[in-house]
Amino acid sequence: MITDTTAQTAQLASGVPYLVIYGLDDASNHPAGTFAVLDFSSGSATVSYVDTAVDMSRPTLSTAGGPQQLTVSAAFATPIDPACCPVRRYTQVIGSIANDHTAPRDIGVIEDDRPWLGAWYATASDHPEGPAIVVGTADNSPASSVLRVGDELVGVADTTLPNGDTYQPAVVDQVAVHRPSDHVTLQVRRHGQPMTFAVTLASRDIPAHSSATPPMAGLLGVRAQEAPAGSPSGALVGQVESGGAGARAGLMTGDVIIAAGPVAVTSLVDLQTALMGQAGRSVALRVVRTDGSLVTLSATPQAVRGGDSTGGLVAAEM
C-alpha cells in the first residue's frame, strides 16, 4: 500500500521547473520508498531521475541560494546483510550533475556517503560464509593498485560492526561502515601469507564507479574436482568438452591444474576465481600430467553462455 505521498516543486537547475514526487510502499515487512524527479522544460513531463530503496526517507530540499539539491537517506544493506539488518543508513545528495546549471540539465547523484573499494569478490555458493576472494578490480579504484585476483580479503583493521561479525564474510560490512575518504588498512591473505595494505576509500558517485564493469566468468569447458589425497594439490580435470577451450589448449582427463595465470590453484574455487574476468583472454595453465610431468598450456576461456554454470561462485562488488 502506498502511503506518505508528497509532491513538491524544485529548482534543481536555473530556469527549469521540476516536480519531485515521493511515496512509501509499506505493504511488506521492509517498506520501500520511491521518488522521481519530473522535468517540465519541454512543456510536458519527462522523468529526469527515479530511485527506489528500502526504508527511504522523504527527500528534503535545500533552501540555499542557487540551484537546489535533494537529500535522501535509506537503509544500506550489503550483499551479505539479511533484509532485517542493514549495516547502517546511507545518504545521497541529488542535483544537477553538469558543470553549469543552464537548462536543460541532467539530474543525478552528486554525493553518496557509501564507500567504494572497487573490488569484486566471490564466495562459493555452497559456502557463503567462506572468505571474500578477489576476482577483479576496477580501473582507477582504491583496490586496483594493491589487490590481486586470488587475494583473500580477511578484514579491515580496527573496525567493529554494529551487529557484530555475525554475517560472513565480515570484511564486506567492515568496509561498508566507513565513509568515502576514510583511510583504512585492509587485511589480506595472499598465497597463504598475511599482508596489510593502506587504502583511501572512494565514493560511489565518482565516474570510475559508474563506468566499472564486473568481471565475466570464463569457462574452460571441462569438469573438474578437488584433487584427491596423494595427488598434487589443485583442480583435477575429469571430462573435457570436445571443442571447448580446455580441449583446444590440450587439457586431458587426469591433468591436475596447479596454477592459472598468477593464481596458485590448490582447490577448485581457486581455479574458478582465476578464470573470472578472463573470458576471451589467454591464460597460462600450469598442469601436472598423469605421468608426473609439468607442462604449461595456453588457454582462452570462453564467455558464459545461457545455461552454463559459473562454477558455483557468487560474485559481488564492494
Q: Say which range, 18-22, 94-98, 302-306, has the weakest mean pLDDT.
A: 302-306
Q: What is the pLDDT of residue 63?
A: 77
Q: CA of 202: how far to CAs of 4, 10, 181, 193, 238, in Å?
A: 34, 29, 6, 27, 43
Within a domain: residue 317? no
Q: What is the pLDDT of residue 103?
A: 44
Q: 195, 282 in Cβ contact below 8 A?
A: no
Q: How many domains does the chain have?
A: 3
**In a shared domain, residues 140 and 174:** yes
**In a shared domain, residues 107 and 121:** no
**In a shared domain, residues 15 and 105:** yes
Q: For residues 275-292, give the mean pLDDT.
A: 89
* Residue 308 or residue 171, greater confidence: 171
- For the beta sheet containing 88-96, the strands, ordered from the edge strand earlier in sequence to the opposite edge, are 60-61, 70-76, 88-96, 107-112
**In a shared domain, residues 127 and 92:** no
Q: What is the pLDDT of residue 308?
A: 43
Give backbone dihedrals phi and psi of 198, rounded to 5 degrees, phi first: -90, 130
pLDDT band at 9 (very low <50, low <70, confident <90, very high): confident
- Provide, rounded to the nearest whole percent, the portion of the chain with pLDDT above 90: 32
**In a shared domain, residues 250 and 202:** no
Within a domain: residue 198? yes
pLDDT band at 300 (very low <50, low <70, confident <90, very high): very high
Residue ending a domain, choose from 160, 194, 210: 210
**In a shared domain, residues 9 and 104:** yes
Q: Say which range, 182-196, 200-214, 295-309, has the weakest mean pLDDT.
A: 295-309
**Given a cut of 60, is residue 172 above it in pLDDT?**
yes
Q: What is the pLDDT of residue 98?
A: 64
CA-to-CA distance for 55 and 53, rounded, in angstroms?
A: 6
Enter the pTM of the model.
Answer: 0.77
Within a domain: residue 318? no
Within a domain: residue 18? yes
Q: For residues 14-34, give the mean pLDDT.
A: 83
Q: What is the pLDDT of residue 121?
A: 87
Q: What is the pLDDT of residue 102?
A: 46
**In a shared domain, residues 229 and 306:** yes
pLDDT band at 200 (very low <50, low <70, confident <90, very high): very high
**In a shared domain, residues 177 and 249:** no
Within a domain: residue 67? yes
Residue ending a domain, choose from 163, 192, 210: 210
Q: What is the pLDDT of residue 167?
A: 66
Within a domain: residue 48? yes
Tens digits of residue pLDDT in 92-140: 999 888 655 444 458 889 899 999 999 988 776 555 566 788 888 888 9
Q: 227, 138 in Cβ contact below 8 A?
A: no
Nearest residue to 187 via CA among 178, 177, 179, 197 = 197
* Residue 318 or residue 211, greater confidence: 318
Within a domain: residue 12? yes
Q: For residue 305, give the C-alpha cell.
A: 553462455
Output the CA torsion 280→252→240→134 (10° steps).
Answer: -50
pLDDT band at 143 (very low <50, low <70, confident <90, very high): very high
Residue 283's domain comprises 218-312
**In a shared domain, residues 101 and 204:** no
Within a domain: residue 97? yes
**In a shared domain, residues 156 and 193:** yes
**In a shared domain, residues 6 and 109:** yes
Q: For residues 146-173, give the mean pLDDT.
A: 83
In three-state secondary structure terms, 317 is: strand
**In a shared domain, residues 179 and 250:** no
* Residue 1 or residue 285, greater confidence: 285
Residue ending a domain, choose from 164, 179, 210: 210
> Tell me, what CATH number does 126's domain have?
2.30.42.10
